[in-house]
Structure 1
Amino acid sequence: MSQELPAWCEPLLTQVRSARTEHFTRLRTPRTGGRPSAVLVLLGEQPEHGPDVLLLQRAATLRKHAGEPAFPGGATDPEDAGPVATALREAREEVGLDPESVTVLAELPQLWIPVSDFVVTPVLGWWHDPHPVYPHELAEVAHVARLSIAELVDPANRVRVRHPSGWIGPAFQVRGMLVWGFTAGVLTALLDMGGWAQPWSRDRVVELPPAPTAPLAGANGTAIGANGTAGEIDHVAGPLP
């Protein structure tokens, strides 16, 4: 890799190199079938907040998955060379991310979401050259945020969410968002692998709200700077167990 990585990356990468599907979900990925797709798990760093991850929030007007937080990502196009190409293309289309600003670190194991039959490859990246990003298409993306790892691992922001189906899984309540499902499952595994996770109470269970999640605090569809705050995948499908 041509870009120097921060020291906090190494423990995560050491674990990611040997990561298997079962580290993220109990569901086995089928050997054949499923719609190929990818998401970008983009890690950055801000001097005042430390390491962070880029998330977007879906527009509240969408027919499906309105208001849900997600990694940038979507289904693979025929011209995509692979998961990395899909993840970077989707991030460019959704939030205006320059692919040249990203150092790809790893492709994580493929994860199957049976509700939609998507087979998702999370692509882990280091944002070596951060720049302002923004909702590229307001009809689909309402907000973009860089959530610090410190916020995500804060025990006060950790909960479990109960889906109407009865499924219960990990979630994060941060800046007016409820991050759950596939996104929360991947984040939970990576926070553990990176050695960031802190003890938190599994007894805090919240019901999945029927209405779209509240907008990000202080965000109105505006751009966020390289050092500031302002998917189809997670949201076409059910959450990881």
Structure 2
Amino acid sequence: MTDITTGTLRVASWRASRLPRRGALGRALVYGLAVLVALFSLRYVLGLPPVPDGIALNRFRLFWLVLHASAASIALLLGGIQFSVALRVRRLGVHRWIGRVYVVTCLIGAISGLVLAIGTSAGPIAGLGFGGLAVAWLVTNALGWQRARAREFASHRRWMMRSWALTLAAVTLRIYMPLFEVLGVPELLGYRVIAFLCWLPNLAIAEALLARERHRATNRPALVRIW
């Protein structure tokens, strides 16, 4: 019995030791993609092509596009850093200031994104999808900021995970667009689908991760008592 128990504990320990590594690799991959997309999106700020035809000739929409791209790019560069435990423990002041900049850029990105979604040349369906993303982005960041100010840090972290999932819509959008093109999906249809697909699955994954965390937290005391 002792050997079996010891063996089980060794297997559990072996698996547990690899979970953080897998998680770290996954976070590094996601953040690497976020950085690449952020740098690519900065072309709007620098006035580099290509710029969508429906926006290039419209100074009003071009202004909002540059504002949106600038804010979203900064959010992409900063968001992934905030989940570093080392940063929160050793440099809490830095974490807070980065968080403030992240939230402000997300709010600017959400508002400018909502303006762009209204009257998009892709039609009302795409406008509804991207508009929903903008509203969800606005709400998650506002609630995350409010929870931090109220010192409800566990709730703050959950809302910021949802916010980061929505920020990553910029990454998933750029994954789906060439994929749909390869699959031969008509451009307008694909764009309308991607308007929802770029963020709803991200949010669902964030909720699944949060549910797994709650499940582990609930079962942890029982596991400790058995050991």
Q: Same fold (TM over 0.5)?
A: no
- Shorter-normalised TM range: under 0.3
Q: Which has a greater percent of helix?
A: 2
- Higher CA-based Rg: 2
Q: Which has a greater percent of strand?
A: 1
Q: Which has the higher contact order (CA 8 A, sep 6+)?
A: 1
TM-score by length of 1: 0.23
TM-score by length of 2: 0.24
